């Protein structure tokens, strides 16, 4: 057990408790588990200097994907604010690093995403023009303009659109995996609230029992719309997975950390990766309730600068922003 526990309180301030020998042992198990449930930070599970174990090309490519998602989503926000988009939107601003990192190491899976999935679509090579058109409700959209933000569907990249019901993509993904004769890899993405649904738990347990080739990703932003995890349950995603005898890891949204653990977990599927993320904007729409807990995009830029890639990463960011601007330019005339 680590000697240091970080507890995230309702004022969104981190308090560090450095335990003396024996302090943790005296904690009642229930109290300890409550602490674990609310433990959340920008460096949870982080490995020092991990970025240095990846090649320059890998570091710059994952950053390019993060940039593309961030600037595309900001354009979606702009289009929504200008009333060009009529239907509800679910933006991925703040959690770009997860999809970008997954796509680097967990390649060509069948994808069962959730309602917030622009990032996954873009990271896995979805056509950004088709996504723009989908959000603008055009027949040239990736789902014919009928799915909208919450139901991004693309047979071209093996992505199955979400039906809008909380967590249903999980049992559908499990059924797909067990109905296939091939060893096709499956990627099933859910939020921390979806994991609490009984049918999600049952499907996850069945996947573990049947050794289904699925990587479950729980995007844990600590919120069910606005309700924090600590007032909803006293267990963690990894508790649940391990109870089903499934490999599971809980980490923050550092892209290098995600790549490292995904590469390991995909050797022993099914597995679950619970990732702490920060939703910068409202659950639905473009509103903002204030500064985010942390900004992984900025932290990745700082890490790239530390390892000597500042100039190259800045060039990538500039070119990517310009590329995205050209995609949206016809809509803002």
Helices and strands (H and E) in the chain: how many: 11, 10
What is the CATH class of 61-331? alpha beta
Among 70-84, 158-172, 173-187, 272-286, which stretch is predicted with the lowest mean pLDDT? 173-187
pLDDT of residue 182: 65
Query: Token pair for residue 267?
Result: 């050797």
Per-residue pLDDT band for 181 (boundaries 50, 70, 90) equals low
Which pair of structure tokens corresponds to residue 313? 């990463």
- The band of 118, judged by pLDDT with boundaries at 50, 70 and 90, is very high
Q: Which of residues 156 and 223 earns the better pLDDT score?
A: 156
What per-residue confidence (pLDDT) applies to 225? 79
What is the DSSP annotation of 3-42? SEEEEE-TTS-EEEEEPPTTTGGGS-HHHHHHHHHH---T
Q: Which residue's entry shows tokens 């049947």?
A: 210
Q: Is 216 within 8 Å of 23 (Cβ atoms)?
A: no
* Concatenated DSSP letters of 35-100: HHHH---TTTT--TTGGGGS-HHHHHHHHHHHHHHHHHHHHHHHHHHTT---S-----TT-HHHHH
Sign of CA dihedral 61, 66, 70, 72: positive
Burial of 154 (0-12, 13-18, 19+ CB in 10 A): buried
Q: 248, 37 in Cβ contact below 8 A?
A: no
The yes-or-no verdict on residue 16 having pLDDT over 50 is no
Residue with tokens 């601007």, as numbered in its chain: 325
Say whether pLDDT at 14 is over 50.
no
CB atoms closer than 10 angstroms to residue 55: 8
Summarised one tens digit per residue, pLDDT across range 94-117 is 999 999 999 999 999 999 999 999
CB-based contact 123:152 (threshold 8 Å): no
Q: In this structure, what are the phi and psi dihedrals at residue 274, rounded to the nearest 5 degrees?
A: -95, 120
Please tell me the predicted confidence (pLDDT) of residue 223.
84
Q: What is the pLDDT of residue 32?
A: 41
What average pLDDT does range 127-155 have in this prediction?
95
Q: Single out the residue of 257, 250, 249 nearest to residue 299, CA to CA.
A: 257
């Amino acid at each position: 057990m680590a000697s240091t526990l970080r507890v995230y309180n309702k004022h969104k301030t981190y308090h560090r408790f450095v335990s003396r020998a024996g302090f943790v042992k005296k904690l009642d198990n229930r109290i300890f588990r409550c602490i674990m449930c609310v433990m959340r930070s920008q460096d949870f599970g982080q490995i020092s200097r991990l970025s240095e174990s990846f090649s320059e090309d890998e570091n710059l490519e994952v950053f390019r994907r993060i940039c593309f998602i961030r600037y595309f989503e900001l354009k979606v926000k702009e289009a929504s604010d200008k009333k060009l988009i009529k239907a509800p939107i679910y933006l991925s601003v703040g959690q770009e690093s997860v999809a970008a990192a997954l796509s680097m190491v967990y390649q060509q899976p069948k994808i069962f995403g959730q309602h917030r999935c622009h990032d996954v679509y873009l990271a896995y090579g979805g056509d950004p023009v088709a996504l723009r058109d989908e959000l603008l409700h055009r027949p040239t959209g990736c789902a014919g303009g009928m799915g909208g933000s919450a139901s991004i569907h693309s047979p071209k990249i093996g992505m199955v659109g979400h039906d809008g019901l909380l967590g249903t993509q999980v049992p559908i993904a499990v059924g797909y995996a067990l109905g296939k004769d091939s060893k096709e890899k499956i990627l099933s993405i859910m939020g921390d609230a979806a994991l609490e649904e009984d049918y999600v738990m049952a499907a996850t347990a069945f996947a573990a029992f049947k050794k289904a080739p699925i990587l479950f990703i729980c995007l844990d932003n600590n919120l069910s719309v606005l309700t924090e995890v600590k007032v909803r349950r006293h267990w963690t995603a990894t508790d649940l997975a391990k109870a089903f005898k499934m490999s599971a890891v809980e980490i923050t949204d550092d892209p290098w950390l995600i790549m490292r653990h995904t590469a390991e977990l995909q050797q022993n599927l099914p597995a679950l990766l619970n990732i702490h993320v920060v939703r910068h904007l409202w659950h639905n729409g473009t509103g903002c309730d204030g500064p985010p807990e942390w900004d992984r995009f900025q932290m990745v830029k700082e890490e790239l600068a530390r390892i000597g890639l500042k100039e190259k990463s800045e060039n990538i960011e500039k070119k990517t922003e310009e590329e995205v601007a050209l995609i949206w330019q016809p809509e803002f005339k």
